[in-house]
Structure 1
Amino acid sequence: MSNPYSNKKKIRGWKKQVRKINYWKNYNLTLDVTKLHKSQRDYVKVAIDPWHRLVKRNPPIWYNRLILEALIEIYLNWHKTLQESGEPFYLKIWLFDHHFINSQVVAATGDWIVGYNNTFIKSNEARTFTFEKYKIHNFSLENFQWELHVEENYFYEKIDQISEAEINKIKQKAYRSGFLQNGDRYFAIKTGDVWIGTLHTLY
């Protein structure tokens, strides 16, 4: 019996796939100011089928570059709107590597600024952004400051009801561990990198 959640079907019609990027970009190009004022946050995920399903899959690198171009356009439009508001704001591109399809533009105001600034742990690896890998045509990525963070998957001893045997296996893979305020122990396993991009203020 085939897996109903499988996402391995061969992709056909690449011209149509490229058009999907444009539809998605144009739909999200304008920041929803009303939503932002109400919830103090807004974001755009790469919701393009068949890549962004329950079981996600990564597109080829040339397609990722087209998505990144669209993310940049969305970011710049949102940046202009937020600057005109005159209020402090958080606006970043979260570029996931290697789970690229999880990449997104994230905006926040008010109390959510602090929360989003603490979403990811900074990496202690001394690596520079892979400009050549993500080279695009519509904008220079060097106009952004890129900081390397860690993508993590969390396991909680009490919430997830992890057995001692499972804990020992997780410990071997864990990037770090600690305790929550309620005393529950957590384990974080590194699953990839997240490059967080911020437009240089002098641009």
Structure 2
Amino acid sequence: MSNPYSNKKKIRGWKKQVRKINYWKNYNLTLDVTKLHKSQRDYVKVTIDPWHRLVKRNPPIWYNRLILEALIEIYLNWHKTLQESGKPFYLKIWLFDHHFINSQVVAATGDWIVGYNNTFIKSNEARTFTFEKYKIHNFSLENFQWELHVEENYFYEKIDQISEAEINKIKQKAYRSGFLQNGDRYFAIKTGDVWIGTLHTLY
């Protein structure tokens, strides 16, 4: 019996897959100002089938570049709208590597600015952004400042009811650990990198 959650079928019809990017981009190109005003946050995830399912899969690099071009267009459009508002805002591209399909454009105002600025832990690795890997045609990625952060998966000792044997296994893989305010111990396992992109103010 086949796995109902599997996402390993061969991809056919790449022209159609490219058109899906344009449909998704055009749908999200305009910032929902009403939603942003109400909830102080808005974001665009890469919800393109078959890549974004319960079990996600990464597209080939050439397709990722097309998605990134679309994310840039969305970002620039949102940036113009937010600048015109004259209010402080958070606007970033979260570029996940190697889980690229999790990449998104994120906007916030008000109290959510601080929250989103603390979403990821900064990496202590001294690496520069891989411009060649993500080279696109419609925009120079060097017009963005890219900061390296850590993508993490969390385990909680009490909430997840982790056994002592499981804790020992997790400890060996854990990138860091600590305690919550309620005393529960957490373990963070690094699962990838997140490049946080911000448009240079002089652009």
Fold shared, TM-score > 0.5 on shorter chain = yes
Q: In 2, Cα distance between the equivalents of 1:112 and 1:181?
A: 21
TM-superposition CA deviations, 1:110-153 (whole Å, max 9, x none): 00000000000000000000000000000000000000000000
Whether 1:79 aligns to 2:79 is yes
SS of aligned partner of 1:170: helix
SS of aligned partner of 2:43: strand
TM-superposition CA deviations, 1:144-189 (whole Å, max 9, x none): 0000000000000000000000000000000000000000000000
TM-superposition CA deviations, 1:64-95 (whole Å, max 9, x none): 00000000000000000000000000000000
Q: In 2, Cα distance between the equivalents of 1:183 and 1:31?
A: 40
Identity percentage of aligned residues? 99
Residue 202 of structure 1 is matched in structure 2 by: 202
Runs in 1 of length 4+ with deviation above 3 angstroms? none
Q: In 2, Cα distance between the equivalents of 1:137 and 1:119?
A: 30
SS of aligned partner of 2:12: coil
Following TM superposition, by how much is the alpha carbon of 1:52 offset from its aligned partner in structure 2, in angstroms?
Answer: 0.2
* 1:21-40 mapped onto 2 (5 Å cutoff): 21-40=21-40
RMSD over aligned Cα, in angstroms? Answer: 0.1
Residue 41 of structure 2 is matched in structure 1 by: 41
Q: In 2, Cα distance between the equivalents of 1:162 and 1:108?
A: 35
Following TM superposition, by how much is the alpha carbon of 1:54 offset from its aligned partner in structure 2, in angstroms?
Answer: 0.3
TM-superposition CA deviations, 1:4-55 (whole Å, max 9, x none): 0000000000000000000000000000000000000000000000000000
SS of aligned partner of 1:9: coil
Q: In 1, Cα distance between the equivalents of 2:2 and 2:132?
A: 39
* 1:1-203 mapped onto 2 (5 Å cutoff): 1-203=1-203
Q: In 1, Cα distance between the equivalents of 2:201 and 2:135?
A: 21
What's the TM-score, normalizing by structure 1?
Answer: 1.00
SS of aligned partner of 1:146: strand
- What stretches of structure 1 of length at least 5 have no aligned partner? none
Q: In 2, Cα distance between the equivalents of 1:166 and 1:57?
A: 27
User: How many residues are treated as equivalent by the alignment?
Assistant: 203
Following TM superposition, by how much is the alpha carbon of 1:192 offset from its aligned partner in structure 2, in angstroms?
Answer: 0.1
Q: In 1, Cα distance between the equivalents of 2:157 and 2:189?
A: 14
Q: In 1, Cα distance between the equivalents of 2:172 and 2:200?
A: 40
What's the TM-score, normalizing by structure 2?
Answer: 1.00
